[in-house]
Structure 1
Amino acid sequence: MIKKCIILSIIFSITFSCGDNLGSVKQNKETKFYLIRHAEKDRSNPENKNPILTKKGIERANHWASYFDSIPLNSIYTTNFNRTKGTIRPVSESKEIIPKIYSPNKLDFNQFIKSNNGKSVLISGHSNTTPYMVNKIIGEKRFSDMLDSDNKSLFIIKIVNSKSTVEVRSVDLE
């Protein structure tokens, strides 16, 4: 009887002392990345490399906020440009999330994916960086640059057990 109690005590101790470590390496957590290109930008001055959004762009940014209203988000990332920051501003304000600035060509994608494991993340980029980010996150070159007129595509990446799926949606202004 004493042997059984000692064995049960040891098993009980090991189970509870390792619980946190086991929880931190769960593989079945779903990670979601939502990637959008910035909304319509002001093209009135071709010399301006950092334009703001047009009236339609602001309308689209507000539409993105409505779209993401019922979608839980943990983090928001944007490049350091007026148009990308302006696109996610309504979402970040409604979710009370401070956007993080990223540079796609300087990002350690393995670390980025690891640090966002089990989270839902919105990323605002550009016609060339959005598909680039999708390709890097899924680990294959599936998507080419977006058309310059495409401000409505939404890439949804789901990762579970290191396997990714990508869905592309067209989110029109209503």
Structure 2
Amino acid sequence: MRFTLSLLVFLLSFSAIAQKSDTAETTTYYFIRHAEKELSDPNNRDPELTKEGKERAQNWAKVLADVKIDFVFSSDFIRTRHTAEPIIKAQNAPLLIYDHKKLNEPEFQEKTKGKTSVIVGHSNSTPTFVNTILGTKKYDKIDEKVYGKLFIVTLKNDEIVDHMLTIN
């Protein structure tokens, strides 16, 4: 009887732990750099996307088509907002502007907890944002000629899993 009671308590405890881990919120971030920007005017700090950039922005929406996106974040530049637009339209997700110099703020963490978000940034801020979430400097600045990096960061419980893909 004592053994049966102990076994029952163990199984109920194990079941509760298993249910807790199954119901843990998963937070997923998809980080991309803005698409190709117009470089004809070196003094223009807020250029439009090139034809290739507009095509890449459309392609990002296709790449993410099977992912349910809750939020799309963009820094407040034409090239990042226009990279985000096809994703927003395809997903019917809101566009939220973030300060690319303030990364992973508590307000951002709370808003995105348990959600799936796309963050459109820059060659320097995108890997820095990923590194901030990871708590380590794993990724370097993206080369200025590279626009196809996709960083995926997933948080569940105390575990953080990250991947970097190149999609051209």
Residue identity over aligned pairs, in percent, reads 33
1:119 Cα deviation from its structure 2 partner = 0.6
For 2:59, the equivalent position in structure 1 comes to 63
Flag structure 2 segments of 5+ consecutive residues without an equivalent.
Answer: 1-19
For 2:3, the equivalent position in structure 1 comes to none
TM-score (norm 2): 0.83
- Secondary structure in 1 aligned to 2:118? strand
Contact 2:151/2:162 (CA < 8 Å) preserved in 1? yes
**Shift in CA distance, 107/170, structure 1 to aligned 2, threshold 3 Å:** closer
Which of 130, 133, 139 aligns to 2:126? It is: 130
Which AA in structure 1 matches 2:72?
A: I
Which of 92, 95, 114 aligns to 1:118? It is: 114
**Structure 1 CA distance, aligned partners of 2:118 and 2:35?**
14
Q: Deviation digits for residues 42-87 of structure 1, max 9, x if unmatched?
A: 0011010000000000000000111111111101100000100010
Q: Deviation digits for residues 71-129 of structure 1, max 9, x if unmatched?
A: 11101100000100010100101111221000122345333223211110000000000
**Shift in CA distance, 44/61, structure 1 to aligned 2, threshold 3 Å:** same
Aligned residues: 148
Contact 2:75/2:99 (CA < 8 Å) preserved in 1? yes
Larger radius of gyration: 1
Contact 2:34/2:79 (CA < 8 Å) preserved in 1? yes
**Shift in CA distance, 67/108, structure 1 to aligned 2, threshold 3 Å:** closer
Contact 1:79/1:85 (CA < 8 Å) preserved in 2? yes
**Shift in CA distance, 59/149, structure 1 to aligned 2, threshold 3 Å:** same
For 1:12, the equivalent position in structure 2 comes to none
**Structure 2 CA distance, aligned partners of 1:70 and 1:99?**
19
Q: Is the counterpart of residue 146 in structure 1 residue 142 in structure 2?
A: yes
Query: What are the equivalent positions in structure 2 for 1:1-174 lying under 5 Å apart?
Result: 28-107=24-103, 109-172=105-168
TM-score (norm 1): 0.80
Q: CA RMSD in A?
A: 1.6
**Structure 1 CA distance, aligned partners of 2:137 and 2:90?**
34
Contact 2:127/2:140 (CA < 8 Å) preserved in 1? yes
